[in-house]
Structure 1
Amino acid sequence: MRGTDRADAVDGLLRLQRLFRVSIGTRTAELLATGTAPEGRPFLGAADIAQSGKKTFLASFDSSTTGNEETRLAMERVYDRARVMANTVATLMIAHHQDAYDAKAL
């Protein structure tokens, strides 16, 4: 396997891992992996999902894709999980930055 092929394969696997972590099962993971964000590109992870807003995210999955009400509700839960994950990461990054760069008392 060439270096660029290997790097692309690793990037793809890491993307699938991130999507599986935010999913609530294999069906929602499959929808995320094969779906596209409103901009027309593949979903990359929780921040990508949460960025578009719940209504816009759910519009990415029409009734022919989701198939039924149960799947639509599952995708709502996926969005909610993605929002919490993205907010948590942002909070941790801000806290780390403040710890690293804020003035310290002598």
Structure 2
Amino acid sequence: MRTGDCYNELLKGAKLSASSQLSDDRSPKDAIIHGEQIDGGNAWTAAQSDFGQYLLIDLGKKHNITAIATAGKQFTSEFVQEYRLDYGNDGQDFSNYRDRNGNIKV
């Protein structure tokens, strides 16, 4: 039985924005997986393929996040190979998520 915030839809109702988007059908709102395999339809894809791209998710309140799922767009080369998680309270100032030794977790 799945219980707790790990299996709740934390992104439902969240405010999503991004540094860029490839097209109208690759917008930040399309980043939500909903626990289902993406069938070639929805996916957020940045307009550029570089380290400056980001997806900003405002959950509205503090949560203890213990897992993050990512998925590429099926039948394409649109997927993330590496990401860094930053967090904050005001949408402007962010801290890097770090491991126990203080190293930025990638």
Q: State whether TM-score is above 0.5.
A: no
**Structure that is richer in helix per residue:** 1
> TM-score, normalising length from structure 1?
0.29
> TM-score, normalising length from structure 2?
0.29
**Structure that is richer in strand per residue:** 2
Which structure's CA Rg is the greater one? 1
